[in-house]
């Protein structure tokens, strides 16, 4: 292990709750002020050009920029936008602009589209200059000093104003996200540090010196009244140690999970209904890697659920389905409105319990009544110190990777084949955690291209087979050295083509299976990096093949401490 890393990860910890002793930074970098449209770019109302006040114009540009986005076709988006936009208008503007469908943003849209194209077409030198400016900004605002280490900040810019883009069917989509001013921002740093200066003519909302939290600055956003934070980059010691701790907790679960499983199996037969509910919920969380499922405020967010907030309408019971007994069909929207759809055979007791939980309930009633996540987590806390619902996701994801790697890796394979095995193992985890992505826009086309290649190859193979047959016949007929050679050659050719075809087909399968699966989320958040580091060492795969630069920075702690015998 190298000395620097060793010291860095093994420095003495602070006393309870204290996250740092010294913290110094420059405060957030604010979004650039609005730049008015040129005179020749018009907003039109009812077919007539109309000059807008600065504030109204800025909001109009937010919508204009998004004109080709699906969002702007949604009624809720339009309605929310229009309401918030009108609030920014002058009285006179409000009197005129009464209907969104009479608003013409096309010139605005074109203006920003063209500007974007111009920027993309900039000569190399100009682009280089822009890049250097960005890196200067990063140097100045992107780092802080925390306990003597210069650490990278995760997000050092305030979020620019714009239109809120919620996920799924979000009731607030299209609302105006206000510009953040220094007067909105709370600064957190050390008393004895150089306290960041607000931009000239401005004041901070507050400067505080709270070393029990890790954030450097915060503000409250206007859509959900939620607090936004400026925090450190995952490569920082503070985040790294927390990450390490997370996986250590998951490893402790490994030791007691057997006991916990037999306990919840017993509890399926408890006389107490509440105990049964906890036991079934926990079974789902463990077996299916469901999230806890906190309650959400109705009408404030998209209607999504997790385990505890499942409703009767989200599951269907089949005593028998496709030759399997006691099948539960799940169909609900989870985090980010990603659909969870799964048909799972469950134990008879679980099935019976679910039936009871659903008795005399409406479709929109809670499946687990009176089971808030706090109750579940309290129960888990009693089973193991530090155990919460999400630890199961971490544990099951990591142990799945480890097991899959053991099963799929072939020591004799070359590096490329080993990486394929790794990705397969990774995919099993992504499937478990239901990590999905939208179909890539280019998917259809690239798949067609691939299919065309496959077709061409099949044609070639057919031809080669024909020739082989001919060569065989020739050889049989004449049986000379020459015909023998020819036969061998044709055989080889056929085999090579078959191999190539297999490879292409494999690629297609891989692409098909991966089209809606996102591997990154589990890799970054659920898989103990030490499993991957150990696997790389054991099988001689360079770590760079598994983790890119960012990921290596984030997992520096694991890369520094892990040898090939690590067991999760």
Partner DNA sequence: AGCGAAACTTAGAATGGCGCGT
Partner DNA sequence: ACGCGCCATTCTAAGTTTCGCT
Closest to DNA by CB, 350 vs 397, is 397
- Tell me whether strands 206-208 and 227-230 are parallel, antiparallel or unpaired: unpaired
For residues 129 to 148, the per-residue mask of contacts with DNA, x marking binding by CB under 7 A and - elsewhere, is --x--x--------------
CA 265, 427, 536, 244 dihedral sign is: negative
Residue 549 touches DNA, criterion: CB under 7 A:
yes
29 by DSSP, 3-state: which? strand
Burial-class residue 402 by CB neighbours within 10 Å (0-12, 13-18, 19+). buried
| Contacts (CB under 7 A) with DNA, residues 455-514 | none
Residue 124 touches DNA, criterion: CB under 7 A:
no
Q: What is the DSSP letter of 436?
A: B
Count residues near DNA (CB under 7 A). 84
Q: Which stretch binds DNA (CB under 7 A): 43-51, 53-61, 84-92, 373-381?
A: 373-381
Which one among 126, 197, 210, 364 touches DNA, defined by CB under 7 A?
Answer: 210
Residue 211 touches DNA, criterion: CB under 7 A:
no
Please state, in angstroms and as integers, the Cα–Cα distance from residue 416 to each residue in 248, 410, 437, 532, following that order.
31, 11, 25, 16
Closest to DNA by CB, 114 vs 564, is 114
Cα–Cα distance measured from residue 170 to residue 162, given in angstroms and rounded to the nearest whole number? 16
| Distance in Å, CB of 292 to DNA, minimum | 4
| Contacts (CB under 7 A) with DNA, residues 321-360 | 334-338
Q: Which stretch binds DNA (CB under 7 A): 51-59, 151-159, 318-326, 531-539?
A: 151-159
Q: Which stretch binds DNA (CB under 7 A): 43-51, 264-272, 339-347, 367-375?
A: 367-375
Distant-in-sequence, close-in-space partners of 34: CB < 8 Å, separation ≥ 6: 54, 58, 61
| Contacts (CB under 7 A) with DNA, residues 32-71 | 69
Which residue bears the tokens 């602070």?
14
Closest to DNA by CB, 13 vs 360, is 13
- CA dihedral angle for residue 457, residue 459, residue 464, residue 465, rounded to 10 degrees: 120
Closest to DNA by CB, 165 vs 472, is 165
Q: What are phi and psi of 241, to 5 degrees?
A: -65, -35
Please state, in angstroms and as integers, the Cα–Cα distance from residue 512 to each residue in 109, 448, 450, 506, following that order.
36, 12, 11, 10
195 touches 217 (CB < 8 A): no
Cα–Cα distance measured from residue 425 to residue 530, given in angstroms and rounded to the nearest whole number? 15
Please state, in angstroms and as integers, the Cα–Cα distance from residue 157 to each residue in 269, 289, 564, following that order.
54, 34, 40
Closest to DNA by CB, 96 vs 452, is 452
| Distance in Å, CB of 257 to DNA, minimum | 15
Q: Which stretch binds DNA (CB under 7 A): 44-52, 91-99, 298-306, 402-410?
A: 298-306
Distant-in-sequence, close-in-space partners of 91: CB < 8 Å, separation ≥ 6: none
| Contacts (CB under 7 A) with DNA, residues 235-294 | 239, 242-243, 246, 291-294
Which one among 520, 540, 563, 564 touches DNA, defined by CB under 7 A?
Answer: 520
Which one among 36, 160, 199, 540 touches DNA, defined by CB under 7 A?
Answer: 160
Query: Six-digit token pair at 447?
Result: 């798949």
Closest to DNA by CB, 408 vs 508, is 508
| Distance in Å, CB of 438 to DNA, minimum | 3
Helix extents (H) in 123-271: 124-141, 237-267
Query: Six-digit token pair at 142?
Result: 């992107």
Residue 390 touches DNA, criterion: CB under 7 A:
yes
Cα–Cα distance measured from residue 415 to residue 284, given in angstroms and rounded to the nearest whole number? 37
Closest to DNA by CB, 156 vs 357, is 156
- Tell me whether strands 143-146 and 149-152 are parallel, antiparallel or unpaired: antiparallel
Query: Six-digit token pair at 154?
Result: 């995760």
| Contacts (CB under 7 A) with DNA, residues 445-464 | 445-446, 449
Closest to DNA by CB, 45 vs 229, is 229
| Distance in Å, CB of 515 to DNA, minimum | 10
Q: What are the helix and strand counts (H, E) for the chain?
A: 18, 15
- As beta bridge partners, residue 50 has 43
Q: Which of 71, 143, 526, 547 is catalytic?
A: 526
Closest to DNA by CB, 55 vs 420, is 420
Helix extents (H) in 102-219: 106-120, 124-141
Residue 139's nearest CA partner among 122, 129, 128, 153 is: 153
Residue 405's nearest CA partner among 397, 138, 380 is: 397
Which residue bears the tokens 């050390």?
190
Residue 538 touches DNA, criterion: CB under 7 A:
no
Residue 212 touches DNA, criterion: CB under 7 A:
yes
| Contacts (CB under 7 A) with DNA, residues 215-234 | 215, 218, 220-221, 223-224, 226-229, 231
Q: Which stretch binds DNA (CB under 7 A): 3-11, 162-170, 259-267, 496-504?
A: 162-170
Query: Six-digit token pair at 407?
Result: 């099963």
Q: Which stretch binds DNA (CB under 7 A): 74-82, 361-369, 386-394, 481-489?
A: 386-394
| Distance in Å, CB of 394 to DNA, minimum | 6
| Distance in Å, CB of 412 to DNA, minimum | 25
Burial-class residue 562 by CB neighbours within 10 Å (0-12, 13-18, 19+). buried
Which residue bears the tokens 């920082």?
236
| Distance in Å, CB of 476 to DNA, minimum | 39
Active site residue 526: yes
Residue 391 touches DNA, criterion: CB under 7 A:
yes
Which one among 398, 436, 532, 562 touches DNA, defined by CB under 7 A?
Answer: 436
Distant-in-sequence, close-in-space partners of 546: CB < 8 Å, separation ≥ 6: 419, 422, 532, 536
Residue 28 touches DNA, criterion: CB under 7 A:
no
141 touches 26 (CB < 8 A): yes
Q: Which stretch binds DNA (CB under 7 A): 100-108, 191-199, 321-329, 427-435?
A: 427-435
Residue 113 touches DNA, criterion: CB under 7 A:
no
For residues 71 to 110, the per-residue mask of contacts with DNA, x marking binding by CB under 7 A and - elsewhere, is ----------------------------------------
Closest to DNA by CB, 54 vs 227, is 227
Residues classed as catalytic:
526
């Amino acid at each position: 292990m190298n000395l620097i890393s060793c010291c860095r990860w093994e420095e003495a910890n602070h006393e309870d709750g204290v996250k740092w002793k010294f913290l110094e930074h420059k405060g957030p970098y604010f979004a650039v002020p609005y730049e008015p449209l040129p005179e020749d770019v018009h907003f039109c109302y009812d077919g007539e050009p109309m000059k807008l006040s600065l504030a109204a114009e800025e909001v109009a540009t937010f919508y204009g920029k998004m004109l080709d986005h699906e969002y702007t076709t949604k009624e809720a988006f339009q309605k929310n936008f229009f309401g918030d936009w009108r609030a920014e208008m002058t009285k006179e503007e409000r009197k005129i602009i009464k209907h969104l469908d009479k608003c013409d943003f096309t010139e605005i849209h074109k203006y920003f589209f063209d500007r974007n194209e111009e920027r993309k077409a900039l000569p190399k030198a100009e682009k280089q200059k822009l890049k250097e400016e960005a890196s200067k900004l990063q140097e100045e605002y992107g780092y802080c000093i925390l306990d003597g280490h210069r650490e990278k900040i995760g997000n050092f810019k305030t979020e620019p104003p714009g239109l809120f883009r919620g996920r799924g069917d979000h009731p607030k989509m299209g609302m105006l996200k206000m510009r953040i001013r220094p007067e909105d921002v709370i600064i957190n740093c050390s008393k004895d540090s150089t306290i960041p200066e607000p931009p000239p003519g401005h004041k901070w909302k507050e400067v505080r010196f709270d070393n029990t939290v890790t954030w450097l600055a915060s503000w409250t956003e206007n859509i959900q009244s939620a607090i936004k934070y400026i925090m450190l980059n995952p490569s920082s010691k503070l985040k790294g140690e927390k990450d390490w701790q997370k996986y250590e907790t998951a490893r402790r679960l490994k030791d007691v999970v057997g006991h916990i499983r037999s306990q919840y199996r017993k509890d399926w037969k408890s006389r107490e209904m509440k105990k049964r509910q906890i036991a079934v919920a926990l079974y789902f969380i463990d077996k299916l890697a469901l999230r806890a499922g906190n309650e959400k405020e109705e009408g404030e967010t998209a209607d999504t659920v997790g385990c505890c907030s499942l409703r009767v309408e989200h599951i269907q019971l089949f005593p028998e389905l496709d030759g399997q007994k006691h099948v539960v069909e799940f169909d609900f929207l989870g985090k980010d409105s990603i659909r969870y759809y799964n048909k799972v055979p469950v134990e008879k007791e679980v099935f019976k319990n679910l039936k009871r939980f659903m008795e005399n309930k409406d479709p929109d009633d809670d499946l687990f009544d009176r089971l808030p996540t706090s109750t579940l987590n309290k129960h888990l806390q009693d089973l193991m110190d530090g155990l919460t619902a999400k630890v199961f996701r971490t544990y099951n994801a990591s142990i799945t990777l480890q097991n899959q790697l053991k099963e799929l890796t072939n020591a004799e394979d070359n590096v490329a084949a080993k990486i394929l095995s790794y990705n397969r193992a990774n995919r099993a985890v992504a499937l478990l955690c239901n990590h999905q992505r939208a179909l890539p826009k280019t998917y259809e086309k690239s798949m067609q291209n691939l299919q065309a290649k496959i077709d061409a190859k099949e044609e070639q193979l057919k031809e080669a087979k024909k020739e082989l047959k001919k060569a065989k016949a020739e050889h049989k007929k004449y049986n000379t050295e020459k015909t023998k050679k020819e036969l061998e050659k044709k055989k080889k050719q056929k085999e090579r083509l078959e191999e190539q075809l297999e490879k292409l087909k494999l690629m297609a399968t891989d692409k098909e299976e991966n089209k809606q699966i996102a591997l990154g989320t589990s890799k970054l958040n659920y898989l103990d990096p030490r499993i991957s580091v150990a696997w790389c060492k054991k099988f001689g795969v360079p770590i760079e093949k598994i983790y890119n630069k960012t990921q290596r920075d984030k997992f520096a702690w694991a890369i520094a401490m892990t040898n090939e015998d690590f067991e999760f």
